Structure 1
Amino acid sequence: MERENRTVVIEFIFQRFTSLPQLQILLFLVFLLSYLVILMGNLLIILLIKLNPSLHTPMYFFLLNLSFLEVCYTSSVVPQLLAHLLVEQKTITVVGCAAQMYVFTILGLTECCLLAAMAYDRYIAICNPLHYRTIMSGRVCAQLVAASWTIGILVEVVQITWIFSLPFCGSNRIHHFFCDIPPVVKMACTDTSKNEIVVLTVSVLFIMGPFLLITVSYICIISTILKLPSAEGRSKAFSTCSSHLMVVTLFYGTALFTYLRPKSISTPESDQMISLMYIVVTPVLNPIIYTLRNKKVKGAFRKTIEKSHTTTLGDGS
């Protein structure tokens, strides 16, 4: 009888992003501007790398893939958030929620692995420069990117399929603004302790695992840099990996805090604020970090503009 009295959930309702309705339009404009910056910044990086042969190196090959991931990653959440800021009923079907979670988690885990591959690239470039071209060949770079995607897809397809095999009944109100793993698991009307253990295990293995590889790589990198005889050499070596280090710090800082923090300090409001950090704030900062702090990218941008201007003048004449 208890099972019969339960209402099977076919759609979820998201919580209002803010309790102040008058802020909805302002938030819409802020997030829309942020999303446009993310799209234009990352697409600009992809375009510059494609058009400039001087950027056809392993480092920028990984950066191109990172920019592509960032565009897809934010696009899996932000357009829906923008739409829901303009409507009263913020709903999503269970199938739509599953699709969003598949895309979001696959891209997120792939990015974790890709950041580790980028750290390995910087480690070889600084700690073993004489063999860099041999070790980081085009084939090896492609294999590292393919491995990142394979891990992301395999791990998250299994995990998310298991989560959505749970029964969802009773209340269908999600205390979040998108279908993230922790709030959706809380909606299940059954014992979810095993699922929570699996989520924690995946987080430790596939978020902490790449993070530890990055940490070890940078310990070796910093140790090598400090041994360089000249201050100019140390500054130049560090500048080649400083942008990546800043991006890793931003990405992993929020990801680790989100998925590994104790339940006792977790509230729906804090979950939303932290999610905004890695869905909107970090992707906005990444293109800025890689363009403003990277002389090669800035040089490629100037060359592309000059070439475009010259071509335009030539066509006009």
Structure 2
Amino acid sequence: MSDVAAVDSTAGAAELQLEPFRVQLTGYCYRMLGSAFEAEDAVQETMVRAWRGLDRFEGRSALRSWLYRIATNVCLDMLNGSKRRARPMDLTSAATPYPSTLTEQPEATWVGPVPDGQVLADGGDPAEVAARRDSVRLAFVAALQHLAPRQRAVLILREVLAWKAAEVAELLGTTVASVNSALQRARATLAASEISATDPVKPLDDEQRALLARYVDAFERYDLDSLTALLHEDATLSMPPYELWLRGHEHIRQWLVGHGAGCRGSRLVPTVANGMPAFGQYRPAPDGGHEPWALQVLEISDGRITGLNSFLDTRSLFPLFGLPERLDA
């Protein structure tokens, strides 16, 4: 075998060993970083470091633990000195539907959406699947950003991934007592953040499927009476990269009549983000057809829509979610 063939064979064997961990590592890094794109970069760096060091991996710990140690160090390096990502609701008070200006913030400001397939492995116990979906909800990931990076890692590893305290202590190079103390502080911080309750996606739930069908019908017809009837009275509307957010279905209605009137005639293409129903929104284009406008991620509780999160960076997000570049007439 030639040297080139030997190298290719070794690389292929390493990839076979490492690749099965990609989705779970991406989910971990996304919860740590709050960005699908940063999580992808972090996992790629993790894989490169692991590939380079695989011949020195002595197997004293499980391969999974070793990869998580590398991923944790990569995330901690990326978080060093950076500002925490947030949602508009974390930064400002609710606005009126008639703002004089719209303030835009850079992408690094916001907790962004992520496709389920990138961070959630298929199959498994239904209860575990539901718990994994719950742990990538926008509200939960945003709450995690309030934690110091090492506390964040402790809480994700212990509460989300169900690692033992001794395993986390070994990964972080600290003591079980320190891990337990960090977990207590992290729990207290999350409890104070008052994470909003939402229902997980239930593909076979007829009630939720009917709610989403009514939402699509009302939005595409721009029937604001029907649309408002689907919203919780304290529902929120946010539109990153803008700071502005609204609370209450009356304010949301007034926005859609005024500043948001360009959404009239939109079409919605379904997808799933962060364990929640989502839609690619396409507004009418001047030359016919429909062009990308927003990725809508809906939050639902008790049969009503409690949050309508419209992410406007379609240039980055639509390819990530496999959504069409435009819809023909």
> Higher relative CO (CA 8 A, sep ≥ 6), structure 1 or 2?
1
Question: TM-score scaled to structure 2, two decimals?
Answer: 0.27
TM-score (norm 1): 0.28
Choose between structure 1 and 2: higher strand proportion.
2
